[in-house]
Amino acid sequence: MDRTLTCPRKYLEEPCVWVESNTTTLSILSSHAEIGLGFLLIISLFSWQRNIIQTFMYWQLLKLMYHAPVTASYHNSVWTMIGMTVNPLVHRYAPFLQAPISAAQRWWLR
């Protein structure tokens, strides 16, 4: 008995076209989610389920993605937004954090 399989694209044509036409938007959203997950992993270090190695490896991956040509522009835009939000607050309310943040930025950019 000859059965032909139907292509999944037939049923998902509209979402597939939307994804193909909005790759930039999806890449920016993906960068936001990836960086947000990195901060959630840092917060999880204060819980009983902490995993230092996983957090360190994920931040190494984020660093690689920041420097990779394919994803660099998306990650750079997200980090710029974070810097524009956080830096004035640090300068105003927590100037003692400027040295650790500067050290982290040097590590990040090398």
Q: Per residue in 41-90, pLDDT tens? A: 999 999 998 899 999 999 999 999 999 999 999 999 999 999 999 999 99
54, HSE (Cβ side, Cα atoms, 13 Å): 12
Give a yes or no: residue 1 inside a domain.
no
CA distance 43 to 68: 26
| Residues 66 and 108: beta-carbon distance below 8 Å | yes
Percent of the chain residues past pLDDT 70, beyond the cut: 92
Closest CA to 38 of 61, 18, 22: 61
Structural domain including 45 reads 15-109
Give a yes or no: residue 5 inside a domain.
no
Kindly report the three-state secondary structure assignment for every residue of 34-67.
HHHHHHHHHHHCCCCCCCHHHHHHHHHHHHHHHH
Question: What was the pLDDT predicted at 17?
Answer: 86
Give a yes or no: residue 9 inside a domain.
no
Q: How many domains does the chain have?
A: 1
Give a yes or no: residue 10 inside a domain.
no
